[in-house]
Structure 1
Amino acid sequence: MPAASDDFLMLPVDLLRAGLFIHLDLGWMSHPFPRGRFRLGGSDEIDTLRRLGVREVRVQRSMSDAQALLDACSEWQHTKDDAQRDAPAVPAARTPEKTPEKTTAAASPLAVAAGAPNPLLDTFRNDGAQRRLRAQLQSQRDSLAHSERVHAQATRGWQSVMRDAVSRPQQAHQAAAALANGLCDELLGDPDTTVRVIGEAAGTAQSQHALNVTVLSLLLGRSLGLEGAALQDLAMGALLHDVGKLLLPDHLRNADASNPALLLRECREHVAQGVRLGMAMGLDAEVLRVIGQHHEWHDGSGLPQGLSGAAISLPARVVGLVNRYDRLCNPPAGEPMRTPHEAQAHLFAHQRAQIDPVVLAAFIKLLGVYPPGSIVQLSDDRLALVVAVHPARPLRPTVRIHDPRVAPEDTPLLHLNDQPALGIRRSLHPQHLPRTVVDTLSPRGRIHCYFAHDLEPARARAAQVA
């Protein structure tokens, strides 16, 4: 679909900078570039344009880096202001009268593109775009801070439950129920709730695993139609699915991944001990089934009873899948780490027979092909971190673009749902990227997920409701 005419503006070559997406109005034999439309990568390309005698270039706003566009237009405005301030005064009697048509025609080429008014530059004249950018960045920071703050509270709640589970089981039950209820409210309180990757996560690897499994299980359970008490039981089961590890000896709790026999014993023992602790806590039967069945598999190859198909409760099938996914992304010491994209692909390619196909299909639809935490290459070759995926638009996630000139917290998020011409080309592993790129995108050694609210522009949320 061709871009709208007001998506373009004419910029003098001297104002160009890396990150702007330009269209050359030259024949393909009249310039040395591979394509006539491309994103400027540096000063060499700009110098080539000067040598070609090009004075102005069409810039496409929607395909350009926001910060580069902001800097270029701000510089243009300062240049114009300086020129007006330094111009010699003209006696009023000799100033020719200008008609509205002449005023428009005499305006800078930046003010008109393809014969259409340019609303972007109008906003720059009154600093509106800068205010909107600052507001957008502040909204992003507020949303992330809220997710990290509530995640930290949930982590403390889970740690409190674990401290009391053995010595004060009834009190642990009450605390777990309160935490599960709070997480369900967090999910259901906003119909636009999505899943995001958060940068900082409090607690231990065990608490982070429990929260990851619970958040993703609730989102998956909701997509499968669970609600009310069933969703509450799912949250309780997910939070407590590994509670039996509290009663394991150290050599089992920290079983070496290279010892399959020890891992098998650890699996059997922590499930059995978890059911025992759950009964002491007075947990409902459905919650106990999640704890007792989250290592059972659809084809009957799981533990401890070898159950299959519908004999495994739906909440247990949900938690079992998400538990396996998080272990692939955030493995114990000694096991290889996979990116979220690789983990999902591994489940589908190698373990599909062990997973309920309905649950697996819903999980892939929920997170999309590139789950939060994935580093991707966009169709215009830029690198980005997938920050969030909306269940209604799994193939059009929200990403943070790699820009070495801008701190991650100062980089506006890009909603691919608002960029029809832009997509994802492939997923990349951090090990295959320069250290500087990984540090700028800031993916952590572990992937932490939590609920997110108000990440998308208001117009996108309104369109989804409609």
Structure 2
Amino acid sequence: MPSRKMTIDQLVPGLYVSRLDRPWTETPFLFQGFEIKTREEIDTLKKYCRFVWVDEERSTVAPPQARNPEANATIAAARRQDQRGSAPPLAETFRQSLSKTESARIEAREIMGDVIGRLRGNVGFQIDELWPHVQELHRQLSYSPDVMLWLLSMRDYDDALVEHCVNVCALSLMIGEELALDGRKQATLSLAALLHDVGKTKLPRHVVFQEGPLNKEDLAMVQQCPIESEKMLLASGVPKGVARIARHHQERVDGSGFPDGLSGEAVTLPMRIVGLANSYDAMTATWPKKLSLSSHQALISLSRQAPNRWGKETVDALVRRLGIYPPGSHVSLDDGAEGIVVGSRPQNRLRPLVVIHRNPGGRMLNRMAVLDLARDGEKRRIRMALAPDGEHNKLMRRISDEVLAA
């Protein structure tokens, strides 16, 4: 991957910094690799570094040395084309990103599965083991958010707790990015989100797998899980700030949460972010005790509860990042056909790219079709979002394998 060594004075927003002249852990930028968004980030880099390496392929502007009228005209033309929603094709972007993003997610699930296994066996873990995988997850999330959302919707892992923890981590990072949290806050947030539910490893199997409502005693055990999470994390050497978020991710702004009944400003922004991500993932997951909601239905429900539970700005950030129909959403078109949303451009959230798998008559297609609802002349529109059914994961895997990853 081409990179160029540059002095700090040469940096501008839009350049992607891939290396520093010192260890990342000595700076506020704990996630290795990031696109410069603001002049303030350049000022921060200047305090710690003399020069950096810039990845030209992942930068959204040309490095200063390469700037000339022809280069600037090319960049401007590309931006105008992108604003029209015609380049690069969303399906091609998906193809290019799927493998790397899925690998990062698989690695995160494997290391989290190992952590959960150790905790179930009353064996501790080292926090340093998690860092590289969380960092790579964040890199791929920043680079390919639609692909990450697609993978979050594809629930095909045997351990539901591991799947849930990785999903909540990714969702929390998305919300944190939308709210412009700095590197250190994002680092704390990511670990807290990944480890927030480790206390559930102490629940009896009959509580974990019980179908139907919990009785009073079992519910009390569930409400103690955040306290168990904090104890287990502190015992493993996790920073107190991370453990504190894990303990309080079920607290609510109006004081209706648990285990300590915190309210108002005592429920800090990181607690609210992890709590919101936790609720969204639980609402859209397929659990034995309840039917899952569509992403669209979940976002509507969360928005209604926002002021009393997580704060309006937190839920608004999630809605902005996911869009009306997030990738992986099962939708019905106004002609009766059904499909799965792959992605959309910010200016065309209501007209995403959809893979059609059922024709208007309800017949499953042998060969699925990729339909761009934002294409000029396309009159079909989404009629409604559908809740995932028992075939949803198989269908998404088929789309990944046969249509988009071909």
Q: TM-score range by the shorter chain?
A: 0.5 to 0.7
User: Is the 1:162–1:243 contact (alpha carbons within 8 Å) kept by the matching residues of 2?
Assistant: yes
Question: 2:220 aligned to 262, 265, 273, which one?
Answer: 265
Q: Distance in 2 between matches of 1:327 and 1:446?
A: 21
2:319 to 364, 368, 372: 364
Task: Assess if the C-alpha contact under 8 Å between 2:340 and 2:356 holds in 1.
Answer: yes
Match of 1:332 among 270, 275, 287: 287
1:444 maps to 2:393? yes
Give how far 1:260 is off: 4.9
Give the match for residue 162 of structure 1: 116
> Is contact 1:367–1:391 with CA below 8 Å preserved after alignment?
no
2:331 corresponds to which residue? 376
Matches within 5 A, 1:55-454: 140-141=94-95, 143-165=97-119, 167-171=122-126, 173-188=127-142, 190=143, 195-198=148-151, 199=154, 201-254=156-209, 257-349=212-304, 353-379=308-334, 381-389=336-344, 394-402=349-357, 404-408=364-368, 411-412=369-370, 414=372, 416=374, 422-429=380-387, 443-444=392-393
CA distance in 2, matches of 1:242, 1:350: 22
Tell me the TM-score normalized by structure 2.
0.65
What is the identity, as a one-letter code, of the residue corresponding to 1:213?
Answer: V
Aligned equivalents of 1:427 and 1:379: distance in 2? 11
SS of the residue corresponding to residue 238 of structure 2 reads coil
When the two chains are superposed, the root-mean-square deviation of aligned CA atoms in Å is 3.3
1:271-324 alpha-carbon deviations (Å, 9 max, x no partner): 111000111122123211220111101111000111112211212111101111
Shift in CA distance, 422/181, structure 1 to aligned 2, threshold 3 Å: same
Give the C-alpha shift of residue 417 in structure 1: 7.2
- Compute the displacement of 1:183 (Å): 1.8
* Alpha-carbon contact 2:97-2:147 (below 8 Å) kept: no
Partners of 1:175 and 1:338 in 2: how far apart?
Answer: 34
Name structure 2 gaps, 5 residues minimum.
Answer: 1-88, 398-403
Q: 1:355/1:140 Cα in 2 relative to 1: closer, same or farther (>3 Å)?
A: closer
Question: Partner amino acid for 2:386?
Answer: L
Larger Rg: 1
* Deviation, structure 1 residue 225: 0.9
Do the aligned partners of residues 195 and 397 (structure 1) sit closer, same or farther apart at CA in structure 2, a change above 3 Å counting? farther
Q: 2:392 is matched by which residue type in structure 1?
A: P
CA distance in 2, matches of 1:254, 1:405: 36
- Alpha-carbon displacement from aligned partner over 1:39-63 (angstroms, at most 9, x marks no partner): xxxxxxxxxxxxxxxxxxxxxxxxx
Q: CA deviation at 1:372?
A: 2.8
**CA-CA distance at 1:140 after TM superposition:** 4.6
**Alignment partners' CA distance in 2, 1:153 and 1:386:** 25
Q: Contact 2:293–2:388 (CA<8 Å) still a contact in 1? A: no
* Equivalences for residues 22-33 of structure 1 within 5 A: none
The alpha-carbon deviation at position 253 of structure 1 amounts to: 3.8
Q: Deviations over 1:334-362 (max 9, x none)?
A: 22222222222222345652221111111
Residue 353 of structure 2 contacts residue 374 of structure 2 at CA under 8 Å; is this kept in 1?
yes
The 1:238–1:228 alpha-carbon spacing in structure 2 relative to 1, beyond 3 Å, is same
- C-alpha deviation, 1:376, in angstroms: 1.7
Residue identity matched to 1:425: R
Q: Given the superposition, is the C-alpha separation of residues 270 and 331 from structure 1 closer, same or farther in structure 2, using an over 3 Å criterion?
A: farther
* Amino acid aligned to 2:190: A
Answer yes or no: is the 8 Å Cα contact 2:94–2:147 preserved in 1. Answer: no
Q: Please give the alpha-carbon distance, in whole angstroms, between the structure 1 residues aligned to 2:249 and 2:316.
A: 18
Most deviating of 293-302 and 254-263: 254-263
- Check the 8 A contact 2:156/2:393 in 1, yes or no: no
Check the 8 A contact 1:330/1:447 in 2, yes or no.
Answer: no
In structure 1, what residue type is equivalent to 2:385? S
Deviation at 1:390, TM superposition (A): 5.4
Cα distance, 1:422 vs. partner? 4.9
Verify the 8 A CA contact 1:195 1:390 in the aligned structure 2.
Answer: no
Aligned-residue offset at 1:210: 1.3
Deviations, residues 174-225 of structure 1 (Å, cap 9, x unaligned): 222332222223234x387664323574442112111211111111110011
Distance 1:202 1:337, change over 3 A: closer
Which secondary structure does the structure 1 equivalent of 2:339 belong to?
Answer: strand
How many Å separate the matches in 1 of 2:165 and 2:344? 20
Q: How many residues align?
A: 302
What is the CA distance between 1:443 and its match in structure 2? 2.1
Is contact 1:248-1:269 (8 Å) kept?
no
Offset, 1:391: 6.0
Give the SS at the match of 1:154: helix
What's the TM-score once normalised by structure 1's chain length? 0.57
Give the SS at the match of 1:279: helix
